[in-house]
Structures are given as C-alpha cells and as structure tokens.
Amino acid sequence: MATETYLDHGSATPMDERARHAMLDATEAFGDPLRLHGPGRAARTILEDSRATVAAAIGAQPDEIVFTSGGTESVALAIWGGSRPVRELGRRIVTSAVEHPAVGGVTHTLESDGFEVAMVPVDGSGRVDLDAFATEIERPGTLLASLQHANHEVGTMQPVAEAVRLCREAGVLFHTDACQTVGRLPIDTGALEVDLLSLSAHKFGGPPGIGALYVRRGVPLVAFPCGDDRERKRRSGMENLPGVAAMAAALDSSREDTADQAAFQWFLTDRLRGFLEGVPGVRVHGHPTQRVPHLVCFSVADVDAEILAMALDDRGFRLSVGSNCSGAAGEPSPVLEHMGTPNTPSFRIGVGRDTSEADVARFADTLPGLVDELSRVETATESAMARYRPRDEI
C-alpha cells in the first residue's frame, strides 16, 4: 500500500481543528442575522464576531469585510462591483495575462457589456511588466486594475506595492487576488493600500465554499448578483454562518505561527526546486525568490503529463496536474504559455502544515525513475510508430 503524501495544499488544505469546532458550534445558530429576535441576535453575534476576526487578521476594519461563497465570487464582486458604480468615467479594466480564471470569467462578462479589458504581459518568471502596466492604467477611461498578489500556478509574487502606487497616481481602483497569500504570509491591507482584496478559506485551513472581499472604506461597490440587504447590500443571499465562523477560526489559528510555517515551507520548496532542477527533462517555473513559500511548479519534457500524473498518484503522491482550475490534466498551461513556454502542461506541488522532510525525500526518490521510464517508453513508442507509418506520410 503506497504511503499517502498530499502535495496539493495550493488547491485545498485539510480543515484546521479549531475551524472544525467553530463550524459545528455555528450550526446551532439557525436564526436569520437580520432578525431582531433571540435566534437572530445569536446568529448576528457569530457573524459579526467572525467579521471582526477576519478584519483584524488582515489589518482591516470589520465594516470593510464582505463574506462571499469563496475566492471566485470575491474576485467577481471586486471587479464587476467595483467598476460598475464609476462606469460613467470610462469602461477600461487592466489586468495581467496570468490571472486566475475567475478574473477571466468576470472580465469576459464585462466585455459583453461594452467594457474593454487590457492584459499586461509578464516575463519568463511570471512577473508583470510594470512599465506596460503603468502605460495601460494611464490610458483614458481606465477604472480598475486587478493583479494577483501571487500567481496560483507558479507562485510568483507580483509587485503589488508598486502597482498600487501607480494606480493611486492615475486615480484607478486597485484589486488584488490574495487567495494564495492570506493565511500563508502576513497581510496588512493598510500597508498594501489596496482598495479591494480577495481571500478564500479553503486555502488556509478553512472549509470550501466560503471567502471574503476586503473593501476599503469609501470605495463604492455594487452588489453582484443583486439581491437583498445582506452584507450591507454589497452581496445577496443568506450568509453561510458555519462557514464564516470556521473561516475566522482557521485564519486566527494560522496567525499564531505564520512566520514559522512560512520559513519551514520555504525550506521544503527550496529543496524541491533544487532537486527538480537536477532531473533530466524537468524544468522549474516561477521566480526563484519572489514567490510564495508553499508552491513549486514544474514541467517534464517528452513525457505524457497525464500518464506521469497517474503514475505518481498510484505511488501515493497527490499533486496538481495541468492548467489549474480547468480540471484537464494533460492540457497545456495558459500561464506557462504567457511566460514563454507554450504547449506545456504543468505540475504544481503545494506543501502545507502536515508536509514533512520525509515526504519531500520520498518524492525526490520516486520522480527521476518514473521520468526516465516513461521517457524511454515514449521514445520506443514513437520509433515503432515511425516504422509502420505509410510512406506518403514520411
């Protein structure tokens, strides 16, 4: 029986024990937080206490936190809801070429409504071209810019502080998708000076299906989708109270040892990068230093990515394969394509609290043999096909 080695913490993390207890406790609060009766007040207390906890964790005020169904809705609310109130001033959105698919989804919707979306290129490490970014946000009619704090696939961190400064000078709202950094690194919205920031609970020990959007005081925001009076009319639908309570508990728990966890995970991924760079046919992607501590992205030449993924899974290694959030294991990565490596499927390792040095060592012992074996099979298969290929195809 293969040892189970979970290396997909960039996609989802095991639930924190405190979060699990908070979730179960909150299921007892069945009241509607908008009601004035006892059950309603009890539910509202949990809701607002959780809001205060999440706000404190990212250097915000409680009234700047909007609870959502996850990171994707948070991103959609930020971009759609942030641009609609000021659309009489223009209809341009600026983002990068390597954003999460959530950004592409909402900008496509805006394009169908007459908005223009400019995508800024990135370099070979995934870092956005700041000169091109500055040029785009200064164009007339630009309302909002959105850049990831860290890329979801290669882990490269973007120069958000510099981008915010440029947006301030241009009078453009700035949103950052911080789903891969909140709970992993210290985040202070006041220091970053962002207008909007997205986070997702299941990235840091919370449950799936719950997230939040930070909205700086004074920033107008239209509800998406439109609805009732929930979340100060900034988001419709009954709040997921157990999810909210669990997210707050998980984020509060993560703050206790953020620095220690980041240092250890950096140590693990640094070892992984060094090992991978020595395996023939393997290429490591992303910035070597300006990156989150927990992610490593690589590709393997001349090997079927789907077959290698299944072989690794058969040996107990659970990691992300293919273009993340697409579900297609063998498909080329759009992120790597924009970084100058087209037609390449990616593998992403995400380490977490339960990842050990032994886990990394086992992976290092297993991968080279698999790559070599599959490369030889691939070469033999291609040679056999060439021998039997009809003459008119040669």
Mean pLDDT of all residues in 76-91: 91
Q: What is the pLDDT of residue 237?
A: 84
Among 179, 226, 297, 325, the one annotated catalytic: 325
The residues near 148 (Cβ < 8 Å, ≥ 6 apart) are 96, 98, 99, 100, 158, 176, 177, 178, 180
* pLDDT tens per residue, range 232-269: 888 888 899 999 999 999 999 999 999 999 999 999 99
CB 137 within 8 A of CB 121: no
Q: What is the pLDDT of residue 49?
A: 98
As a whole-number percent, the residues of the chain with pLDDT over 90 amount to: 83
As a whole-number percent, the residues of the chain with pLDDT over 70 amount to: 93
Selected residue with higher pLDDT from 326 and 102: 102
Q: 243 — phi, psi (to 5°)?
A: -65, -45
Q: What is the pLDDT of residue 377?
A: 78
Mean confidence (pLDDT) of the chain: 92
Selected residue with higher pLDDT from 175 and 222: 175
* pLDDT tens per residue, range 109-123: 899 989 999 999 999
Q: What is the pLDDT of residue 226?
A: 73
pLDDT exceeds cutoff 70 at 284: yes
pLDDT exceeds cutoff 90 at 191: yes
pLDDT exceeds cutoff 60 at 163: yes
* pLDDT tens per residue, range 71-81: 999 999 999 99
Mean pLDDT of all residues in 3-30: 96
pLDDT classification of 21: cutoffs 50, 70, 90 = very high
Q: What is the pLDDT of residue 390?
A: 57
3-state secondary structure of 217: coil
Mean pLDDT of all residues in 3-31: 96
Best CA proximity match to 297, nearest among 363, 348, 335: 348
Mean pLDDT of all residues in 272-281: 96
Dihedral sign, CA of 263, 202, 233, 93?
positive
* pLDDT tens per residue, range 146-159: 999 999 999 999 99
* pLDDT tens per residue, range 199-238: 999 999 999 999 999 999 999 999 877 767 788 888 888 8
pLDDT exceeds cutoff 90 at 324: no
* pLDDT tens per residue, range 294-315: 999 999 998 999 999 999 999 9
Q: What is the token pair recorded at 379?
A: 């070469």
Domains of the chain: 5-11+257-387 (3.90.1150.10), 17-255 (3.40.640.10)
Give the total residue count for the chain. 394
Q: How far is 353 from 238, CA to CA, in rounded Å?
A: 32
Q: What is the pLDDT of residue 242?
A: 97
179 classed as catalytic: no
Q: What is the pLDDT of residue 177?
A: 98
Mean pLDDT of all residues in 371-383: 73
